[in-house]
Amino acid sequence: MVRLRDGQWMTAEGMKVDYAEEVYDIASQEDQQAMSLLCPTKKVLSRGDSLNLPTITVDLKAEMDGVISVEATHFAGAQNKGPHFDLFPDGQPSISGKIVKSGKGTTLESGSVAVTISSDPHTFNLEFHSTDRSQTLTTLGHRSTGYAVTPYPSNPMQLGDLRDFKHYMFLQTNLSVGESVHGLGERFGAWNKVGQAVTLWNSDGGTSSDQAYKNVPFWMSNKGYGVFIDNPGRIEMEIGSERCCRVQTTIESQRLKMYIIYGPTPKDILKRYSALTGRPGKVPAWSYGLWLSTSFTTNYDEKTVTSFLEGMKARNTPVEVFHFDCFWMKAFTWTDFVFDSERFPDPKGQIARIKESGLCKKVCVWINPYIAQHGAAFKHAAEKGYLLKRKNGDIWQWDLWQAGMGLLDVTNPEAAAWYVECLDGLFDKGVDAIKTDFGERIPTQDVQWFDETVDPIRMHNYYSFVYNQIVYRALQKRFGDDQAVLFARASTAGCQRFPLQWGGDCESTPEAFAESIRGGLSLGISGFSFWSCDIGGFEGYPPPWIYKRWVAMGLLCSHSRLHGSNSYRVPWTVDDDDKTEEGCSKTLAKWTALKNRLMPYIISQAAESIAGGLPLSLRSVALEFPNDPTAWYIERQFMLGSQILAAPIFQESGEVEFYLPKGKWTSYFTNEVKSGPGWFKEKHAFGTLPLYVRENTVLVLGNRSQAGTVYDYTKDVEVALYQVSIGAKAILVNNEGEEIGELVVGADGKLTDTSILTGDVKISEVGRSLDGDAPISITSW
């Protein structure tokens, strides 16, 4: 970690720190879109003070309605190497900036947000606020903006050669009383980041560490604004830690740029953020169904795969996607795109057979961008120059993960084209989706990328964007723009455009279960709509109760996958094929059926989530109830869309404590109504958890007998009304994700028109019909 100070009074040992001490001059652009501030690093009280004095340039620009960028620069002559985030991919919205001068200072307005530079003499203070001044967002105040050099130079002339020094830029935004900070990618620690030191650097560290697979330089405050840091390199964050009242952002560079994004609501912030970095991609209906994996190091072949799928079918648990993990290829050959001929002698035929028999709809296979030396692909890629090189021209290799592995050079267009050709070969065999694993361990020292203009440090995190983009576009080209599905681990800002992501390597413990939920919540508030995790945990052997509690949560994620490391995740292997109602098999069947039945609601909420850059699930309670202070500290429960709240259970006993915000909430399982705000305690068997429907909800449910996630969401449905009032509605979407109509509640509390529905339609006016439900037991305690 980079620390600038030793406590409040002293600078850190060996660190020279200079701050912008005043705004000496303000230069405005004629179009009123931007201002440039000249900021000396000490107060200029006489003409002589301007000599031998470093300055910092602070550039402010109106970027779009509600968004202002701020960039601090020391030496402007430094190269601004790539890669750069692909911003405004759908085009930058037009904005008419405005500069206003008053007694309070000079203000740059950008639609609903503004920044005011204080007019007080010899002062550095930038206040970000709503244009109508109803809300102060944050400030860059006294000694908040500057640069640092280490080691401390004994003579200024030493800095004529910066090769022996590290030069950092920093910005410190103010944290107000009661402010909390959330996001920064998929992080598994406390959801509120205040008090944490966070390094944004993609790492393969599992879910029980402060490292993250998906580092996203965007965070959101509960005070109505967000901050996007426009740098894909290594970013050091001190969030109410080094300075308890500030969020400090530090990078090794000569410039640092960030965007202040106004809400005022969290949903407004995410909508603007997704306009800046890209809206989430759309996924097909089949992808929401259950995914079943071979697991990682388990022993399997064609016979094993068939037996798993037949076993799931016999237990009334339809599998939408079957996933072949690493060992579909031979050991020491990953990733050469060649099926192990001994275990899978006819992969194309096998895939066709399991689909034709109805055992699954789609097939996914595992890949990564690392090319092992002993695989057939390595020699070809090496000869063609498709692999990353060292500075002396050697291919960059090491023995971590795969013996002698090289790394696909994604900056080489010919290498990317070759990789796509390899993917096309898989598609020809019947593969429909790709798991893009790894992509975090990207070297930064002694490397030479094909594109010589890129900075290796900035390529480390950004590699995940290009890698996933290459695979996603190949899927789109083969299957259609809205039919592409990958399953990615490494990500950064913008990767929400290439769905979907999963949470990485978690242990089979209740603590890791909770870690996964925090990771999903954190990624969701970082602009990602779709997320999954390894149900039951990846590492270890989940005890049956952990498996079943995780199944309940996992089938309420946007996407649901059973996957493990060295043990299978088919339910009968977890509990010796317990055939009772409380066994793993029947528990999985119940929750899979529930998700299938919720598909009319899920697919409609997905469309809304994509449009707004919102998480479908796991969605923080705070996104729906931003004015509830408690909601900003809830990290053990989540929303599925905007209308359904779920509280996972972490105890074998089934005891759970959960929070319901203001309003009336109806239990999905019993139709019991509770009133919030308040905390509640319940005890559940394995077939239920606290699943509450928000008041004023029109919930469309598929037919109970419906198997799978792809069907007609208007036929033979049940429409359940939950504490509705006039105007309550449900938007109906077909299984292609296209809006086809809506159901609206009239003045009499009934639906005004149901002609869009077909078949045997049931209208339930006080929650859903419980006829046909198996007996359940939920008690309060």
List of domains in the chain: 5-78+97-262 (2.60.40.1760), 285-369+413-608 (3.20.20.80), 621-780 (2.60.40.1180)
Confirm whether 346 is a catalytic residue: no
Task: Give the active site residue among 22, 242, 409, 437.
Answer: 437
Full DSSP string of 236-277: EEEESSSSTTEEEEEEESSEEEEEEEE-SSHHHHHHHHHHHH
The Cα angle at residue 380 between residues 376 and 382, in degrees rounded to 5: 115
pLDDT for the residue numbered 205: 95
145 bridge partner residues: 171
Nearest residue to 329 (alpha-carbon basis) of 363, 379, 372: 372
Of 333, 337, 346, 363, nearest to 424 (Cα)? 337
Q: How many residues would you count in the chain?
A: 781
Mean pLDDT of the chain: 97
> Before 264, cis peptide (omega within 30)?
yes
Residue 422 DSSP symbol:
H
Confidence label for 566 from pLDDT (cuts 50, 70 and 90): very high
Please give the structure tokens belonging to residue 421.
């050709």
- Read out DSSP for 733-750? E-TTS-EEEEEEB-TTSS
Q: Which residues pair with 436 in a beta bridge?
A: 367, 488
3-class SS shares of the chain: helix, strand, coil, % to 5: 20, 30, 50
Question: Which tokens belong to 440?
Answer: 């975090």
314 vs 94, residue with greater confidence:
314
Catalytic residue among 21, 63, 186, 440: 440
Q: Tell me the mean pLDDT in the region 20-46.
A: 95
505 catalytically annotated:
yes
Task: Name 729's Cβ contacts closer than 8 Å, sequence gap at least 6.
Answer: 698, 742, 743, 744, 745
Per-residue pLDDT tens for 463-484? 999 999 999 999 999 999 999 9
Is the per-residue pLDDT at 781 higher than 90?
A: no
List pLDDT tens digits, range 599-615. 999 999 999 999 999 99
Q: What is the pLDDT of residue 366?
A: 98
Q: How sure is the predictor about 351, in pLDDT bands with cuts at 50, 70 and 90?
A: very high
Share of the chain above pLDDT 70, in %: 100
Please write the tens of the pLDDT for every residue from 677-727: 999 999 999 999 999 999 999 999 999 988 999 999 999 999 999 999 999
Residue pLDDT, tens place only, 259-279: 999 999 999 999 999 999 999
Q: Which of 71, 432, 455, 505 is catalytic?
A: 505
pLDDT digits (tens, 9 = 90+) for 416-427: 999 999 999 999
Those residues whose C-beta lies under 8 Å from the C-beta of residue 225, and which sit 6 or more positions away, are: 128, 137, 138, 260, 261, 262, 263, 269
Helices (H), 100-205: none
**Sorting pLDDT into bands at 50, 70 and 90, what band is 188?**
very high
What is the C-alpha to C-alpha distance for residues 177 and 297, in angstroms, rounded to an integer? Answer: 50
Question: Which ranges of 159-252 would DSSP assign to H, the alpha helix?
Answer: none
Mean pLDDT for the stretch of residues 331-343: 96
Give Cα 259 distance to the centre of its chain: 19
CA end-to-end distance (rounded Å), the chain: 46
Tokens of 190: 């406390």
Are the C-beta atoms of residues 60 and 115 closer than 8 Å to each other? yes
Q: How confident is the model at residue 581 (pLDDT cuts 50, 70, 90)?
A: very high
Report the 10 Å Cβ neighbour count for 47: 7
Q: SS3 for 477?
A: helix
pLDDT digits (tens, 9 = 90+) for 66-85: 999 999 999 999 999 999 99
Question: In degrees to the nearest 10, what's the CA dihedral of 100, 102, 107, 110?
Answer: -50
pLDDT digits (tens, 9 = 90+) for 617-643: 999 999 999 999 999 999 999 999 999
Q: List all residues 6 or more positions away from 143 whose beta carbon is below 8 Å from its beta carbon.
A: 19, 21, 124, 172
Quote the tokens at residue 224: 């109505």
Q: 436 with 463: CB under 8 angstroms?
A: no
Let me know: does 639 contact 620? Beta carbons within 8 Å.
Answer: yes
User: What's the DSSP call for residue 650?
Assistant: -
The whole-angstrom distance between residue 42's C-alpha and the CA centroid of its chain comes to: 41
pLDDT higher than threshold 90 for residue 777: no
Active site residue 440: yes
Q: Do the bridges between strand 433-436 and strand 673-684 make them parallel or antiparallel, or are there none, so unpaired?
A: unpaired
Residue type (1 letter), 177: V
